[in-house]
């Protein structure tokens, strides 16, 4: 494997495969549980690859997936670019901090793209925390006439191997 590009070295704690459980809720849907896998890798360029998949806790059916990239354009800044199979693209920008307690980043959407058949999403906001082999996150969403509100939260653990 190539060396990690120095521009994304601050994101090294993210590298690997993470699995765990989460809960989704929104004013327009029933609350649900999900199992998730996130894989974050690199190819030696100034970005990390991001792939996420979820399945229903009750019967294992696929729920959601997203694919994208993480970039660090300047010290303390982070960009997340994501494509959803539901016809949504998302560009998020925000801050990243790393210290002895781990890594944290918070991003807000600066652009949401929608195909003609996609549901109306007007804003997304994500917060990630990594401490050792535990990753926690929350997602807030403004969609279908509902203002920005909590949507998802999960706790994942890094998989060895």
Mean pLDDT of 44-65: 97
pLDDT at position 1: 74
pLDDT at 144: 95
Residue 42 per-residue DSSP state: -
The pTM score is 0.95
Give the pLDDT of residue 113.
98
pLDDT greater than 80 at residue 161: no
Asked whether residue 5 is marked as a ligand-binding residue, the answer is no
pLDDT of residue 160: 86
- Dig out the tokens for 118 from the structure: 């996609």
Architecture of domain 6-27+34-158: Beta Barrel (2.40)
> Is 45 within any annotated ligand binding site?
no
Q: What is the pLDDT of residues 108-155, one digit of tens each?
A: 999 999 999 999 999 999 999 999 999 999 999 999 999 999 999 999
What does the mean pLDDT of the chain come to? 97
Left if phi > 0, otherwise alpha if psi is -120 to 50, otherwise beta: which for 11? alpha
Q: How far apart are CA 148 and CA 156, in angstroms?
A: 24
Average of pLDDT values for 49-58?
97
What's the confidence (pLDDT) of residue 70? 98
Q: Is the pLDDT of residue 68 over 80?
A: yes
pLDDT for 100 beyond 80 = yes
Burial of 126 (0-12, 13-18, 19+ CB in 10 A): buried
Each domain of the chain, given as residue ranges in start order, spans 6-27+34-158
Q: What is the pLDDT of residues 14-39, one digit of tens each?
A: 999 999 999 999 999 999 999 999 99
Alpha helices in the chain (DSSP H): none
What was the pLDDT predicted at 132?
Answer: 94
């Amino acid at each position: 494997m190539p060396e990690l590009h120095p521009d994304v070295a601050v994101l090294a704690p993210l590298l690997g495969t993470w699995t765990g459980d989460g809960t989704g809720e929104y004013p327009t849907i029933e609350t649900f549980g999900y199992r998730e896998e996130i894989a974050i890798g690199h190819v030696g360029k100034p970005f990390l690859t991001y792939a996420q998949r979820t399945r229903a806790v009750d019967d294992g059916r696929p729920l959601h997936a997203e694919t994208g990239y993480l970039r660090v354009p300047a010290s303390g800044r982070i960009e997340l670019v994501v494509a959803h199979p539901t016809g949504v693209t998302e560009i998020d920008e925000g801050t990243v901090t790393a210290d002895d307690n781990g890594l944290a980043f918070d991003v807000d959407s600066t652009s949401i793209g929608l195909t003609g058949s996609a549901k109306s999403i007007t804003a997304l906001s994500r917060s990630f925390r990594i401490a050792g082999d535990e990753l926690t996150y929350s997602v807030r969403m403004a969609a279908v006439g509902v203002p920005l509100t909590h949507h998802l939260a999960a706790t994942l653990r890094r998989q060895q191997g």
